[in-house]
Amino acid sequence: MFDPVISPRELAALTDAAILDCRQDTAAYRAGHLPGARHAQLERDLAAPAHDPAHGGRHPLPDLDAFAATLGRWGITPGSRVVAYDDQGGANAAARLWWMLRAIGHRDVQVVDGGLAALREAGFELTTEEPAPAPQPPYPHHGLVREVADIDEVERARSAADRRVIDVRAAFRFRGDSDPFDPIAGHIAGARNAPYADNLRPDGTFKPAEELRALFNHVLDGVAPAQTIVQCGSGVTACHTLLAMERAGLSGARLYVGSWSEWCRHPDRAREPR
């Protein structure tokens, strides 16, 4: 099985990887990034404008042709070895980039285990020099090869005995204590909470595959990954759990891109608490 996670030591041994810095903060990227790292910024490169979060959430997927053109500008082709990192343990937004590449059929993409902090600890130097990769044609694609779930499928799945909806947001958001990003706090009725932070060890690296498998098997409770939908607030950190599930050998779950930011804006959709 191809591990979706790569250690800094393994990255150091590569000579031809296309490296993508997926931190949201453009200023932080300009202040220092890995040599050769292109900047993949969430709102600009990995999402479409959220004109109406009630239809697609706060981070809808970008137009695939536009994303393919962006990959080409970064010099990425179907033969590229792609490695992504951020400063949030892969959650914002290296895992989103990983999922998007996998979703258009690119297999050879990994996220740095432990992110920028682990890279720095391993001795990687930073540079302020902007990379100038040789541009390539738009990445050839035939649409998404990984299925996504829309709001109506989530409606069908949330109460079905043979389906599972997993909400990866922090427990306080799931409980409805408060929500720093969306106008209503709570969760989709019937969803189960498995915070994405639980995918990581205290040092910010991913748990081993066997630990992740035990974690997800408990949440799935007999439901197949292919019958599972993963959501978060806006379809970004959910990708972290999709990556962790793949590391655990439990691939096949679908991403609900709109997630809570879409669902909570529909008063006719069941939510808890009311």
Q: Which residues are catalytic?
A: 232
- What are the structure tokens assigned to 246, written together? 């793949």
| CB 229, CB 237: distance < 8 Å | no
CA–CA gap between residue 270 and residue 92 (Å, rounded): 28
Q: Are 97 and 71 in contact (CB under 8 A)?
A: no
CA-based nearest residue to 241, from 268, 272, 190, 207:
207
Phi–psi pair at 22, nearest 5 degrees: -105, 20
**Number of other CB atoms surrounding residue 218 within 10 Å:** 10
> 175: burial class by Cβ within 10 Å (0-12, 13-18, 19+)?
middle
